[in-house]
Chain A
Amino acid sequence: MVTMNSEADKTQATNATLAMSSAEKQPAAESTSPLPKSPPATAAAGVAVTTECSVPAAASLPPVPVPAAAPAAATTQTSVPTPAPEALANGNSNANIEEVVVAVASTAAGATVNGGAAGVVTSVAAATPPPSAKTVNVRDTTTSAGVSGSSASKSSGLLTVSSNHHHHHHHQQSSSSSSSSQQQQQAAPSTVVVQSSSQHQRSNKNEDAPNILVYKKMEAIIEKMQAESTGVAVRTVKAFMSKVPSVFTGADLVAWILKNFDVEDVTEALHFAHLLSSHGYIFPIDDHALTVKNDGTFYRFQTPYFWPSNCWEPENTDYAVYLCKRTMQNKTRLELADYEAENLAKLQKMFSRKWEFIFMQAESQSKVAKKRDKLERKVLDSQERAFWDVHRPMPGCVNTTEIDIKKAYRRGGSSHGTGSSGASVAKNPVEQLSRIIALRKQKLERRTIKVSKAAEALVAYYDQYNEFDYFITSPELPNPWQTDSTEMWDTEKNSKEVPVRRVKRWAFSLRELLNDAIGRDQFTKFLEKEYSGENLKFWESVQEMKALPQSEIKEAIHKIWQEFLAPDAPCPVNVDSKSVELAREAVNSPNGPNRWCFDVAASHVYHLMKSDSYSRYLRSDMYKDYLNCSRKKIKSIPNLFGVKR
């Protein structure tokens, strides 16, 4: 949400741009950024923005903002002692809006689960700052927003955010000190000065942003392109009844790249141009898809203010305001694309509570825009559109700005020395290296098989299992998702109708047999008939024991020992003396037995079953009958769903 600060900003920004446009008619591309309308809203949104966006539902933002509110509030409040009253002096309309902001902020906060409280606190703090109350508020925010343990490393990532606020408060201060209503001429230069200094400041803070190196490189290139004599020729094209200001063609651009860079051919130059474009540095004037074609299509440079290196992380609310505004300006070139209309509808639903406010904002921005010079408006509109094409790209376009929050987090962590990068280096290198060497030695000693063998194993596995791979073979029972029949899940539970493929799978390995509840059941029955059920029982009890909680382990181990392994066990298993000895040692170990103490014995028994009982089971009539039985049944099921078998 946007406070009155941004409102003040905006008026001032308009003043500034008007002043500039009257001074020099050469818009955007080369000017030192004439603060267009909505992005000030984004950045200057000030304290309330950040807190509002901590509302989980509203945001698609990296994890930083929650604790962000605190430092942001702190810096702004202290560095600019009394922004609110001065801003108030700017005019009545501002005061009204401020009231609305506070009202909206508090309703929104009331409605949310997390972070809502913080929203109220800080937005109030921003609006009415009694100096003593600030610190208290700030502390409140931190505690209410604090996510256990991690706030320290997170808050480092916020510097970017807070620097933005910082800048805009400066800006606002300077603008309001130039006594609001008049003296646009004076306001303009001060804006520029503050902006450039803040740009510097911001770039400092953003140095560790993930793509900053790439951005810097691209920006150096863009600056070259914009050089007055040696750059790409920017012109104003006269079309029928109208003018297209400050554009260049794709062909010009590609030619320029070919001439100035060491690129092999047109394809490479195009690709290069496309990359610049996908980050929004250059954009087609009437297309949402940020790419470059080698023809007469017109392109324009983005103003540095909107460059991605400024680390914009625009909120959905800003996007909503922007889209809403577009619907108000009755121009075909500003009509919403289908996907934008869809987004607008979604956002309207999401922000239904504060839609009134978003609408008001859009309305006031739109009013401001209408006062501008026509050509300049065209440029600014297109630049703003390109900005959103970068940050809320059309479906199917690659999003270059949104960062994975894991990465953002890592970045935050790194500057604090916690997290992945800082640690572990500090330790004794000799010790570490020796450890590595020991591990590597192990690796060298390990016997490895040849790749041909590995490949053969994979092929064999595929041959055996392709029947069960739904990607390759249709399932025996109808796919429940496609046919609305739950047969597949139902048969899992009752053993009467087991599909033949499933029974066949039991023959692949003992593991397959034991993994299938019905298979295990059958095998148990078979072993009972053979009077060798204790092996499986022992193996099963060991597996069950391993899954028990620590508190019950000791008792369970004792029980297993007594039942299967002890000299006078009622149900002794056939295990070699060595394994029994190992188990005995483990069970009686001074540290207490652990859950893996029977592993050796259990794997011995498993092997025994595998080599002996299991192969006999597969040859037994019991298994064959079962297999035939299910085969018959399968045949009797009509192929209802036309699934290929």
Chain B
Amino acid sequence: MPKIDPETQALYDEINGMIQKFKDDQKAKADCTLADKCGDMSDVTKIRFNSKKILKGHINKVNSVHFAGDSRHCVTGSLDGKLIIWDTWTANKVQIIPLRSAWVMTVAFSPSGNFVACGGMDNACTVYDVNNRDASGVAKMVRELVGYEGFLSSCRFLDDGHLITGSGDMKICHWDLEKGVKTMDFNGHAGDIAGLSLSPDMQTYITGSVDKTAKLWDVREEGHKQMFFGHEMDVSSVCYHPNGMGFASCSEDQTARLYDLRSDQQIGQYEPPQKNTGFTSCALSTSGRYLMCGGIEGMVHSWDTMKQRHTGTLSGHENRITCISLCPNGMCLASTSWDQQVRLWL
């Protein structure tokens, strides 16, 4: 360990002083707990969802799922090297897109349903036009976005022409899909970026990272707006609250948390009844009352966000759940797992 020169030390001290100030400030603002405030609310029932359909077709671990804006179609990506676009209503495959690289980690559907994007260990993000076929009859690859130094861990469409990605090289990139050029590219975190969630108004987004923090960003700017601490291990996924004023996050540290943007701190914490599972993915219901998290032990846990009570589990998967996605109208939850299945819960 090299000796720390006085200048650096002074800076460290300053930072530590500031951290203390934040803590004091947070304490000062924490005039009550969420549970206090929600004490007189009526209880919500145990989560009523059942595993209604199993979408069968993948022959390896399924890593990611995302719904299109129509709340009916979803796309899943698996280590078998395929993207499958499903009509969740009929449980039929609408399209199967063979990938160049089988190591897909994340998928995204554009809100319009016109494009899907995916990426992973190939250190690239590939965008397919769902409505256009190439010579062999599969969806046409319209863009291959390269230049990453780490695997792609998350991507989301702002609209048909713009995409934001987070990757294992700690970077956040913004892409103009029409031109295929990067419009922004900056270091987002001090560790792999693990999850990304767009605000309901598409003006801001939250990222979660292996550096145990989550950050708030403006889609127009490079610097982060706010930073949120609390998790003790990798933050694996984040999900904007539908009111746009907060977000939920989940982590390997066996907790999920609720943060508020305006009070700039954590206001809720959620744990599984037996402390036996870390979480890989989270989602909030339309009113923000239910929080759902996919666990590495194969269950989806749910909580009442307000009263911070566990409201049941959805069991069916036989292995780690890798991703859950609630459709935009809030009626159907899709989950993907290492057991090669995609399940629909409603």
Residues of chain A whose beta carbon lies under 8 Å from any beta carbon of chain B: 56-57, 59-60, 63, 113-114, 147-150, 154, 350, 395-396, 398-399, 402, 404-406, 409-410, 413, 418-420, 423-424, 429-430, 433-434, 436-437, 439-441, 443-444, 446, 448-459, 461-462, 464-466, 468-472, 475, 479-482, 486, 489, 511, 547-551, 596, 599
Contact = CB atoms under 8 A, between A and B. Distances in A.
B186 interface: no
A150 B60 contact: no
Contact of B41 (A63, A350, A459): A459
A436 to B, nearest CB: 6
A607 B201 CA distance: 15
Contacts of A475: 331
B94 interface: no
B168 A468 contact: no
B179 to A, nearest CB: 5
A237 to B, nearest CB: 33
A486 B88 CA distance: 12
Interface string B311-346: 000000011100000000111100000100000101
B123 A150 contact: yes
B129 to A, nearest CB: 14
Contacts of B276: 398
A436 B15 contact: yes
Interface in B155-174: 158-162, 168-170
A477 to B, nearest CB: 10
B289 interface: yes
A9 B104 CA distance: 36
Contacts of B37: 452, 455-456, 459
Contacts of A434: 11
B96 interface: no
A404 B226 CA distance: 29
Contacts of A482: 52, 346
8 contacts: A147-B101, A402-B338, A404-B320, A437-B11, A439-B224, A440-B22, A451-B260, A462-B41
Contact of B160 (A459, A468, A547): A547
Nearest to A399: B319
A405 B102 contact: no
A457 B148 CA distance: 40
Nearest to A438: B223
B209 to A, nearest CB: 9
B210 interface: yes
Which 3 pairs from chain A and chain B are nearest by CB?
A549-B178, A455-B37, A469-B287
B77 to A, nearest CB: 12
Contacts of A471: 44, 47-49, 285-287, 289-290, 330
B267 A455 contact: yes
A434 B36 CA distance: 39
B14 A454 contact: no
A454 B246 contact: yes
B8 to A, nearest CB: 5
B346 A479 contact: yes
Interface size class of B (residues with CB under 8 A): 35 or more
B98 to A, nearest CB: 7
Contact of B124 (A148, A451, A457, A469): A148
A405 B152 CA distance: 12
B243 to A, nearest CB: 4
Contacts of A56: 60, 79-81, 102
A392 to B, nearest CB: 10
Interface string B231-265: 00000000001110110000000000000101111
B320 A399 contact: yes
B262 A449 contact: yes
B150 A413 contact: yes
Contact of B170 (A114, A420, A549, A596): A420
A149 B146 contact: yes
B169 A60 contact: no
B69 to A, nearest CB: 11
Contacts of B170: 420, 423-424
B227 interface: yes
A419 B330 contact: no
Given A481-B346, A482-B346, A472 B89 contact: no
Contacts of B21: 444
Given A350-B59, A405-B103, A549 B176 contact: yes
A455 B49 CA distance: 27
A551 B178 CA distance: 8
Contacts of B222: none
